[in-house]
Amino acid sequence: MNKMHDLAGAQRPVEAHVWMALLSLYGKIYNRLNRQMLRDYGITLAKYDVLAQLVDAPDGRTLGELTSELKVTGGNVTGLTRRLLDDGLIVRESSITDRRSFIIRLLPQGRETFLAAQVMHDGVLRDWLGKLSEDELDSALLLLRRMNAVVP
């Protein structure tokens, strides 16, 4: 097993260092992007992610579908949708086929907010990660997808 030293001099497997590097990168990007999204568009990245699931779903999505797509708990999705309702970005309707289920749809203001935020989101990522070559980005994406495939 490949080992590396941490700051305290203890040997740790390289896999632990990869994990810590991924967490550090994720945290750095998430925190900076979240602050900018909130400042410029009044939404968090979590709200942005919900809007992203709705933008190409003209018939809306159920809370269950959103929970599945977003990989979060139903309680988190319920709270996010409640806040998006309060923001006037979505509407929640009872399902015609199942009265126990709700359909979440994007309102025009939600679509406008999402599309404007998406331009900023993609531009910021391009600015930050665009410092890498296209080959480096392709290699990173390939490696991350491979890592995702091997983790059960």
Instruction: Tell me which of 32-46, 71-85, 100-114 is least confident.
Output: 71-85
List, for residues 43-58, the tens digit of each pLDDT value.
Answer: 999 999 999 999 999 9
Has residue 103 been placed in a domain?
Answer: yes
The DSSP H or E segment spanning 13 is strand 11-13
Has residue 91 been placed in a domain?
Answer: yes
CATH of residue 106: 1.10.10.10
**What confidence tier does 127 reach under pLDDT thresholds 50, 70, 90?**
very high
Domain count within the chain: 1
Q: What is the pLDDT of residue 75?
A: 75
CA distance 138 to 140: 5
What is the rounded average pLDDT of the residues 1-25? Answer: 79
pTM over 0.85: no
